Amino acid sequence: MTLKNPFDKNLPGRIKIGVWASLVSAVMLIGIAVFWVVHPAAAQGSFSITPDTDAAIRFSKITAIFKAVGDLLSPIFVMLAIGYRQFRLAGIFHISTLVLAIAVDMLTWGIYVPNAKPLDVLQHIPFAIPILIAAYCFLTYKSEEI
């Protein structure tokens, strides 16, 4: 089994839409993973931890690494599944990303971040939109011949 061109012109339209939505989602998630690594202090700022102690700085770096890995793994798995033309699997990966990364992050912001506003929770919706589009396209396509 070898990797195939995910932008092949012979793919059905719905699958092409799913591939492009997956690419947009991957770029967004990889971008936010890079953000967490470059700006680990954003984690302590979110939870109102005073950055005046070494423990707070170490906590923010550890948290940033975990968030970055969580945001980075899902697009890698999705793009590998697409490369091997396993579109249903890519759709399942998108749903798991939606639940395990986006929904959990929204709950965390809503419950644990002090003085969280609705906009702080709703800022995750732009990440969910391409994931939902790709999952819908991949999971509702019925043809066995791709």
Domain presence at residue 20: yes
Range of the domain at 82: 13-140
Domain presence at residue 22: yes
Domain presence at residue 4: no
22, burial (CB in 10 Å: exposed 0-12, middle 13-18, buried 19+): buried
Dump pLDDT digits (tens) for 25-83: 999 999 988 888 888 777 655 556 666 677 777 777 787 888 888 889 999 999 999 99
Domain presence at residue 146: no
Q: What pTM did the predictor assign?
A: 0.84
Distances (CA, A) of 108 to 50, 80, 124: 19, 29, 12
Provide the domain count of the chain.
Answer: 1
